[in-house]
A and B are shown apart, each in its own frame.
Chain A
Amino acid sequence: QSALTQPPSASGSPGQSVTISCTGTSSDVGGSKYVSWYQQHPGKAPKLMIYEVSKRPSGVPDRFSGSKSGNTASLTVSGLQAEDEADYYCSSYAASNNLDVFGTGTKVTVL
């Protein structure tokens, strides 16, 4: 199972929006409703931000939204805030082999 492909970095000014892509295959992202996004600050454990492509857990601001088209999932952070500066990882369940796979990770910088 190869890692899902994410851009290494993304950036935006406070108040702007940033969108991160996560590209897989029809065996994982394209064929799964179980696509998640995680936020990780340095030295901290990951935090679930989006599950099942576009659902937000309780407590996650609605500035965070997820979507999917074909084999690519996307995370959009609107109204960027300083505390959004972190690493973001996507993950997908692959029904073909019951395995999960993470993305390569994207470092988001708030300028």
Chain B
Amino acid sequence: EVQLVESGGGLVKPGGSLRLSCAASGFTFSNAWMSWVRQAPGKGLEWVGRIKSKTDGGTTDHAAPVKGRFSITRDDSKNTLYLQMNSLKSEDTAMYYCTTDGWSWGQGTLVTVSS
């Protein structure tokens, strides 16, 4: 069974940094394209970015609102996906989900950016 477990969320001040993790199991993580999706409280889904498998180049793409501030990486030896978030803004407050490019989803980790 595919399992995705996010962690690392919490309260952070504007301008601060946070690193989210997503521990994966139940599938061959190294072959999977992985994505982060967020959802602000009471709002819709917003795609954050994607990282391809290393065999497909391992490249990343990030949505415009986070480009240059957020960075997606992966550690295939640990079956773990990461989202490094820098220069956080109040509008980054959201539940952050990791997903196997839409197929399976974690339960999310909440990030709150507030002073």
Residues on A facing B (Cβ under 8 Å): 1, 3, 36, 38, 40, 45-48, 51, 57, 87, 89, 91, 97-105
Interchain nearest-CB distance for B100 vs A (Å): 10
What's the dominant secondary structure at chain B's contact region? Answer: strand
| Chain B interface residue number, banded | 10 to 19
Of B44, B102, B108, the residue contacting A104 (CB under 8 A) is B44
Task: Report the bound CA distance from A48 to B105 in whole Å.
Answer: 9
B25 surroundings in chain A (CB, below 8 A): none
Task: Report the bound CA distance from A101 to B37 in whole Å.
Answer: 10
B97 surroundings in chain A (CB, below 8 A): 45-46
Known: A36-B102, A45-B108, A47-B105. A102 touches B46 (CB 8 A): yes
What's the dominant secondary structure at chain A's contact region? Answer: strand
Residue contact B102 to A38, C-beta cutoff 8 Å: yes
9 contacts between A and B (CB under 8 A): A1-B63, A1-B64, A40-B45, A45-B105, A46-B99, A91-B102, A100-B35, A102-B37, A102-B44
Residue contact B106 to A51, C-beta cutoff 8 Å: no
Residue contact B47 to A101, C-beta cutoff 8 Å: yes
Residue contact A45 to B106, C-beta cutoff 8 Å: yes
Interchain nearest-CB distance for A1 vs B (Å): 7
Known interface pairs A46-B37, A46-B105, A98-B61; 8 further A-B residue pairs with C-beta atoms within 8 A, sorted by A's residue number = A40-B45, A45-B106, A47-B105, A57-B103, A99-B47, A99-B64, A100-B47, A105-B45
A1 surroundings in chain B (CB, below 8 A): 63-64
